[in-house]
Amino acid sequence: MRFLLILLMGLGLFASDATLEIVKSADNRPTVAIQDASLFGDEGVKRKFFRLVVGDLKVTAHFKVDDTYRRSGYDAFVDPMLKSNRYLLRYRFREGEQQRLYLDLKAYEMPGATPIFERSYRVANRARYPFLIHQAIIDFNDYLGMPSVSWMKRYVVFSEYAGAKRADIVIADFTLTYRKRLVSGGLNIFPKWADGEQKGIYYTKVGTRPTLYYYNIYSGERRKVAVSDGMLVCSDVSRDGRRLLLTMAPDGQPDIYQYHIDTGMKERLTFYSGIDVSAQYIDGERRIVFVSDRLGYPNIFAARIGSRAVEQMVFHGRNNNACTAHGHYIVYCSRETDNAFAANTFNLYLISTQTDYIRRLTASGVNQFPKFSRDGETVLYLKHFAGETALGIIRLDYNEGYLFPLKGRQIQSIDW
């Protein structure tokens, strides 16, 4: 996996409002050197392991990482040349019984020669080795008392085009190194996690009539949830998993509905003759934010559940066509240019329902499908730039973002 680090403009955190811009202070993050003591894999595989370790440390945004590849014995003396770093991480991949794959990790605080942290991990399915690395870095980060990065071990789910009128539902780790196809056959689109534990997903299968299904990723159980003419998409799930926000178009024009899992009741939330789509819960799930063409172009609006009154949330741009929400924060996609014969630029912005501040999160390219992490501190998105497509990660409390190339894959929608 080729790992690319980019600096994003306009990121920062001040007081309790993540939309405010500040000038970042001096970089006082601790430095980390890495040594590979692996007993498993050829040179190419070992280098791949190393790049993932480096990438995970960088994505935390808590360390300055020395990405020089170094080999060492797992129990060897600490090289004095590395003692200018604050920490040394030494890891070892090895095979175990029944072909299990193990990862051993130990950390030294320099200049000490005794490990301050040591742990072992194992997995039966070797394809899942990225999650060994993710968990190891999460645990090391937690041991040091750094802000949690537990989102690193969560699955990403996406719909990937497989041919004409065919799209599969796939889960992966956030680097897309591990991948597993869940649903195939036909056009399967708009996957959405059904619960915080990531046990199941909702997705739409397009056929004679769009059908919303629930799929358990562990048991393979699939059940039909709803059917509608025209359009049917699940755009958000309540925290308790008992309510869904659906975009439906039974009469030709899409509106927002709230679907109650326990009773099967559909509650219509918007009543506009044009287009209302992509609703998300905000402000303690008392309100929703959604995309509408009420101004003659796509823009971001909010409404209190149970009220027909709507509030315009964005007052710049002429094509604000996607959004994601967490608490009282909203990230939306806005077209910045209007080129008839060239690619246009779409950037991501962060706003709050509590203030008038706005913060730009990206600076170039076409940035689409923003999705908040469950803790609201990280944003996942897709970036198209210079003929390449990548999965992007934005760490909202820091001045850094990260890209993971998709290598020719065409993704229809994504969630995590």
Look at residue 404 and tell me if it is in a domain: no
The per-residue pLDDT for 26 is: 54
Residue 12 predicted with pLDDT over 70: no
pTM over 0.85, yes/no: yes
Residue 21 predicted with pLDDT over 80: no
Cα 62 to chain centroid distance, Å, stands at: 18
When divided into structural domains, the chain yields a total of 1
Look at residue 65 and tell me if it is in a domain: yes
First to last CA, the chain: 20
Look at residue 144 and tell me if it is in a domain: yes
Beta strands 388-395 and 64-65, pairing class:
unpaired
Cα–Cα distance, 82 to 98 (Å, whole number): 37
Residue 10 predicted with pLDDT over 80: no
The per-residue pLDDT for 17 is: 57
Arithmetic mean of pLDDT, 393-397: 94
**Helix (H) / strand (E) containing 60:** helix 43-60
Lowest pLDDT segment from 231-240, 255-264, 354-363: 354-363
Look at residue 87 and tell me if it is in a domain: yes
How confident is the model over 260-308, as pLDDT tens digits? 999 999 999 999 999 999 999 999 999 999 999 999 999 999 999 999 9
Q: What CATH number did the domain enclosing 53 receive?
A: 3.40.50.10070
Cα–Cα distance, 295 to 312 (Å, whole number): 10
More confident: 227 or 10:
227
Cβ atoms of 106 and 118 within 8 Å: the answer is yes
Cβ atoms of 232 and 248 within 8 Å: the answer is yes
Look at residue 386 and tell me if it is in a domain: no
The per-residue pLDDT for 265 is: 96
Look at residue 408 and tell me if it is in a domain: no
Write b or e for each residue in 298-331: b if 16 or more Cβ atoms lie within 10 A of its Cβ, otherwise e.
bbbbbbebeeeebeebbeebeebbbbbbbbbbbb
Arithmetic mean of pLDDT, 73-84: 93
Look at residue 118 and tell me if it is in a domain: yes
Count CB neighbours of 221 within 10 A.
Answer: 10
The per-residue pLDDT for 19 is: 52
For the residues of 383-414, what is the DSSP string, one character each?
EEETTEEEEEEEETTTTEEEEEE-TT--EEEE
Cβ atoms of 32 and 26 within 8 Å: the answer is no
Domain limits for position 94: 30-150
How confident is the model over 315-359, as pLDDT tens digits? 988 899 999 999 999 999 999 988 877 788 999 999 999 988 899
